Amino acid sequence: MSESLSLAARAAYILRDNSTGLITKASPTLYPHQWSWDAAFNAIGLATVDLPRARLELDALFAGQWRNGMVPHIVFDPAADGYWPGPAQWQCARFNEDAPAAPATSGIIDPPVHAIAVDRILAVAAAKGGREDELTLGWAAHLYPKLLAWHRFLARDRTDKSTGLITLFHGWESGTDNSPRWDIPYGNVLVGPDLPAYTRRDKAHVSSVGQRPTDREYDRYLWLVEEAKEAGYDAGLLRESGSFQVGDVLFTAIYAAASDLLASFAARLRKPDDAAELKDYAAQARAAVFCHVDEASGLAADVDLRTGSWLRTETVAGFAPLIAGGMPRYLRQRLVTLLTGPRWAGHPALKWPLPPSTSPCSPAFNPECYWRGPVWPVFTWLLTWALHRSGEHALAARLRETSLEQLGDETYAEYYHPMTGAPLGSLNQSWTAAAALDWLLDREAA
């Protein structure tokens, strides 16, 4: 119990220290703004200790929602500086009339975990009961039209007609920036001679530059921002001109799960037409994920939409069907066996039996480089949430307990070396602390 209290207290202090009063910075220095899917996870953690602050977190994020329903991947804090590319590089309101003049935002998206966060916050409030439950339900009803507009945007502007998968125009939109999932499509991005000069500041915030993407990768990342500006951040134009276009199975799976939850909330609000629409989004997205499972490996595969080629790389995104939910039991068991087996969490060289971001058996595996090998606690949280939802309670509990052991050093790192357990990336990362708080709440309630 004392260890749990220490972990919880440290996690709560991190969220408090990273708070500006309105938003929670993704980390103390490396990420001083509000990232979209970070904010959703942060709100989940905040709900365990401060429901009003959890509600405010998502309100602040959706203040940056575009008129077309898009939720941008960054909402910039005007009081913070030093992050690149910042508002002056994105210039969203200049290039697209749907973008808000204030707050300034980026022009791309993040995975749509927000309805998952709202569902979790509602559950915490219901357990508390009384006035907080009433206030939280009213808040969620007020936020609902914005969530619906966000899901409609993804259905209308980002769903690829040929595959049914959500289209990404930048690897950053996946949340797994430099994952080997994207090596082939990034390799086809030709950086033009007029790429604006820039100075990388992210490498100053880690103990080794090997923990971060390379300069060559960053050139491509920033060139894709220039492409998006040239297209006015318009999905239709980017489908014609964008040099990076992929169908993302993980993003699509999250969309399926979130649409299901939002449909249930729509029904609760007595909006049957909305509920039917959202259930349809979920069903189509789930079917698209299941249709892109590679028979040989058992993992779901992304698609390079410019060539039609499947991207068969052994990354945790391959477990997208577990997150989408609704799998036949025999197929779910195949993925669960794979997840716990020697190519993944059961690999004998791992410090903790937790799934790395890339399989240690893959030629692309790099144990200390960002999404190319390290273990990300926030992704483990997403897996435990999905496994619990589908009835795999024992495995979910085992991954949760092991993750809490991993976090016992209380550094709350962005990600961890899978073989040594060393903390990597930015320390005191908000969403890592948030995941721990939610796990601890679940464990104490069990």
C-alpha Rg value of the chain to the nearest Å: 20
Q: Which amino acid is at 398?
A: R
What single DSSP character describes residue 156?
Answer: I
Which of the following is catalytic: 177, 219, 234, 442? 177
d(CA 406, CA 64): 35
Query: Coil, helix or strand for 446?
Result: coil
314 is a catalytic site residue? no
Nearest-10 Cα torsion for 227, 231, 234, 236: -100
Which tokens go with 395? Answer: 């495995």
d(CA 51, CA 48): 7
What single DSSP character describes residue 109?
Answer: B
Q: Using alpha carbons only, what angle is made at residue 52 by residues 49 and 57, rounded to the nearest 5 degrees?
A: 95
Which tokens go with 191? Answer: 């950086």
What single DSSP character describes residue 158?
Answer: I
What single DSSP character describes residue 79?
Answer: T
Give residues with Cβ within 8 angstroms of 324, minimum separation 6.
Answer: 252, 253, 256, 257, 285, 286, 289, 290
Its sign, for the CA torsion 7, 10, 13, 18, is: negative
At residue 403, φ and ψ (nearest 5 deg) are -65, -40
At residue 346, φ and ψ (nearest 5 deg) are -90, 10
Which of the following is catalytic: 248, 260, 414, 438? 414
For every residue of 388-432, DSSP letters joined together read HHTT-HHHHHHHHHHHHHHGGG----SEE-TTT--EESSSS-HHH
d(CA 18, CA 428): 9
Which tokens go with 141? Answer: 């009803």
Backbone φ/ψ region at 54: left (φ over 0), alpha (ψ -120 to 50), beta? alpha
194 is a catalytic site residue? no
Taking each helix axis from N to C terminus, what angle separates 249-268 and 272-290, rounded to the nearest 10 degrees? Answer: 160
C-alpha pair distances (Å), 52 with each of 10, 22, 64, 121: 20, 11, 19, 10
What's the full length of the chain, in residues?
446
User: Taking a C-beta distance cutoff of 8 angstroms, is the pair 355, 375 a contact?
Assistant: yes
Any idea which residues carry the catalytic annotation?
A: 177, 414
